[in-house]
Amino acid sequence: MRHPRLALATAAIAALALAGCTSSTPEETPGTESPDSSSAAGDALLATVDDTLFGPVEIPEPADGELTVVALGWSDAEVALALGVTPVAVYDWQGFGADDNGVGPWAASEFGDETPTIIENVGDALDYETIAALEPDLILNTRSAGDEEQFTRLSTIAPTVYAPAGTAAFGTSWDAQTLQVAQALGKVSEGEAIVAKIEAQILAATAAHPEFAGKTAVTGTKFGDQYGAYIAGDFRWDLLESFGFEQNPAVLDLPTSGFFVPLSAEQITALDADVAVFFPIGYTLDDLLADPLISSLNVVKDGRTVFLEQGDELTEAFSAASPLSIPLVVDGLAAKLAEVAAK
């Protein structure tokens, strides 16, 4: 599986990731102190994450023995839950809401009787005062914009773990994210086991569908007036590649923007692969089906397209790309792809 990935222009990230980036001023939040001071005082360490965007991060053992975690990065909460740690706060990137505890419905029950603080995705800022009031021992922000000013501000509240060095904005792959969070939580072996289990499931699905091998495919979308295709660096393509599909050459011939290839109306035929997976962002499925450019494609006319409905659990799980959502996607999407690949 791949690890560090992608970069995307700010406006496109907001649309394609279904969330906005945050920005901040690196001012210390009143009533907080640098986590370095507690570490320097000789406290025992829970973990040290050596490889992050902003250097090594030490996480002291919590004084009360209970690790208090705030999960800010895309799917960080679901990764923590998969590792048996319940965050006290969740940044709700995909708008799941309080009923689902700010995570996908496939993960909501993992909170048990606990109710986390839901931090609404406002797209341009973090509520540092709310985060500080939770008195976290650890802040996770491993799949995010990678903003250094934001990191500096968060680090005055608690040790804050970002993606590995070299990872671009929102470019942390599910496996790299799982291992990064596992290291921060002092659960390295558990993280490795989770990654191995999911990789085995993907390999099993691939072996069950040898008909996928060598066929060209695309994962495409429409948001606003823009069309495009995901490429290596985004789970929504990487899973198809793991299944044995090959990226449509016409897509690779066009200029990229991080994990995405923007398409003009004149370039729409780049989506005409052997098989396609399409889903709308900010539109209904009916809107997408009524789009004259999309409906003009042979891959659509011939019924070789898997259409995913906005807000559908499979669609949301595909975008979440977490250890708790991926098993649902592997099973559900492989079955749908098998139907259209046979045509």
Residue 17 predicted with pLDDT over 50: no
CB 67 within 8 A of CB 185: yes
E strands, 89-207, in order: 89-92, 117-120, 138-140, 160-161
C-alpha–C-alpha distance, residues 174 and 5, integer Å: 11
Residue 178 predicted with pLDDT over 80: yes
pLDDT of residue 124: 67
pLDDT of residue 29: 39
pLDDT tens profile 258-309: 889 999 999 999 999 999 999 988 888 999 999 999 999 999 999 999 999 9
pLDDT tens profile 216-227: 999 999 988 899
pTM of the model: 0.87
pLDDT tens profile 76-133: 999 999 999 999 999 999 999 999 999 999 999 999 999 999 999 987 689 999 999 9
Between these two residues, 250 and 7, which has the higher pLDDT value? 250
Q: 262 in helix, strand or coil?
A: strand
| Identity at 52, one-letter amino acid code | T
Q: 331 in helix, strand or coil?
A: helix
Closest C-alpha to 92, from 82, 83, 107, 84: 107
pLDDT of residue 40: 39
C-alpha–C-alpha distance, residues 56 and 54, integer Å: 7
CB 68 within 8 A of CB 114: no
C-alpha–C-alpha distance, residues 24 and 298, integer Å: 47
Q: Two tokens at 149?
A: 């000013």
Residue 11 predicted with pLDDT over 90: no
- Whether CATH 3.40.50.2000 fits 209-341: no
In the chain, list all ranges with CATH 3.40.50.1980.
10-199, 209-341
E strands, the chain, in order: 45-49, 57-60, 69-71, 89-92, 117-120, 138-140, 160-161, 216-223, 226-230, 246-247, 260-263, 275-281, 305-307
Q: What is the CATH number of domain 10-199?
A: 3.40.50.1980
* Mean pLDDT, the chain, integer: 89
The b-or-e profile of 195-225 (16+ CB within 10 A means b, else e) is: beebeeebeebbeebeebeebbbbbbbbbee
